[in-house]
Amino acid sequence: MDRAPGRRELASLLKMEDFSSVYAEADRVRKVNVSDVVYIRSILEFSNHCRRQCRYCGLNCTNRKAKRFRMKPEEIVSTARQAWDAGYKTVVLQSGEDPFYTPQLLGEIVREIKKTGIKITLSCGEMSFEDYSYLKECGADRYLLKQETADPEIYRALHPDSQLEERISCLKNLKKLGYETGSGFMIGLPGQSLETIAADILLIYEIGCDMAGIGPFIPHPDTPLKNSPHGSTELTKRAVALTRILMPEINLPATTALGVLDAEEKNSVFSCGANVVMRKVTPDAYKKLYEIYPADLGETDIYKERRELEEMIHRLGRIPV
């Protein structure tokens, strides 16, 4: 695209009867700009304590049914080392917004893990400019903080304790500090329209995100949104494809949520623009408890899963890295 399209234009593209030509274009843009490589990243979910009330998320602090856990710093470090030994070059350290892990403690963990040479992505929520800056000094390379929705009213309704403006300001701070910055959003949130999705894609473009995780909303039974329908996988793929075309070099993961709704969709999203996949390396005992949305999770064998994933990527005619 020579110029950024408008919101209306994107919304009408999303609505098209036959999307196959757009998918083909997204696949072409992906191949030309980011090649056939699929980046494999590991994700380690180290705490499910959260001070936030996000109404779609099973970890929100009002969910009394969630059994909470925190991994000890040594345990986080040793699991990240195993991921490195299994061949992962990147680990995403993700948690709820858990004040137990102060920036100082997180910084120590980052420094320790960094000794292996692995790249570190943090995904621990909103923090001040100073704290993000400190963690960057400690060696964090990337940060994931999804906008969740670009509509200020929907944002407000889903996050009683925060505002979209704060999110955007955090994302801009992360960019300013030189983090590779990841955002993203959910498809199928209550109140969302095609125009909202268009605005979501444009917000990622305006911020200049290096990565965008786009996944369908999946209702969690112990949240206020338990009766809302899940998001459309087709619409998710369409949003991924348009994001690829608009931002040719961006990293686009095949989100776990897409695979939860339909494993086939998760693979087919690789022909719609996606070029990244994440694998959990969270120890089994904790993995089950990190229930953002319901998912049927198998046992973790870091080494075996890594091999299987590489085989799957080869079968798609792509190159695992």
The correct pick among 217, 270, 286, 290 for binding ligand 5AD (CB under 6 A) is: 217
User: With CB under 6 A, what is the number of residues at the site for ligand 5AD?
Assistant: 12
State the alpha helices, DSSP H only, in 138-273: 152-158, 164-176, 194-207, 233-246, 256-261, 263-268
Smaller CB separation from ligand 5AD, 83 or 258: 258
- Collapsing DSSP states into helix, strand and coil, what is residue 216? strand
- Of the pair 215, 273, the CB lying nearest ligand 5AD is at 215
By beta-carbon proximity to ligand 5AD, the closer residue of 63 and 133 is 63
Exactly one of 159, 220, 237, 244 binds ligand 5AD (CB under 6 A); which one?
Answer: 220
User: In whole angstroms, how close is the CB of 148 to ligand 5AD at the nearest point?
Assistant: 5
159 is a site residue for ligand 5AD (CB under 6 A): no
Stretch that binds ligand 5AD, among 7-15, 22-30, 214-222, 301-309 (CB under 6 A): 214-222
Minimum distance, C-beta of residue 84 to ligand 5AD, in the bound complex (Å): 23
* Identified binder of ligand 5AD from the candidate list 39, 56, 84, 179, rule CB under 6 A: 56
**CA–centroid distance for 48 within its chain:** 16
Q: Least distance in Å: CB of 24 to ligand 5AD?
A: 28
290 binds ligand 5AD (CB under 6 A): no
Largest CA distance in the chain: 53
Whether residue 201 contacts residue 22, with contact meaning beta carbons closer than 8 Å, is answered with no
Q: With contact defined as beta carbons under 8 Å apart, do 88 and 306 qualify?
A: yes
Query: Any bridge partners for residue 251, and if so which?
Result: 211
CA 91, chain centre distance (Å) = 13
Name the nearest CA neighbour of 145 among 119, 167, 115, 165.
167
β-sheet bridge partners, residue 212: 183
Closest contact distance (angstroms) between CB of 161 and ligand 5AD is: 15
**Cβ atoms of residues 188 and 237 within 8 Å:** no
Which of 58/320 has CB closer to ligand 5AD?
A: 58
- Each residue 11-30 as x (binds ligand 5AD by CB under 6 A) or -, in order, gives --------------------
* Per-position x/- string for 172-201, each x denoting binding to ligand 5AD as judged by CB under 6 A, each - no binding: --------------x---------------
Per-residue contact string for residues 234-273; x = within reach of ligand 5AD by CB under 6 A: -----------------------x----------------
Give dist(CA 302, CA 35) in Å, integer. Answer: 26
Token pair for 10: 């994107």
Rounded distance between C-alpha atoms, residue 277 and residue 42, angstroms? 9
Count CB atoms within 10 A of the CB of residue 57: 22
Determine which residue in the list 146, 167, 237, 280 makes contact with ligand 5AD, applying CB under 6 A: 146
DSSP 251: B
Q: 3-state DSSP helix/strand/coil percent for the chain, to nearest 5?
A: 45, 15, 40
**By the criterion CB under 6 A, which residues form the site for ligand 5AD?**
56-57, 146, 148, 186, 215, 217-218, 220, 257, 292-293
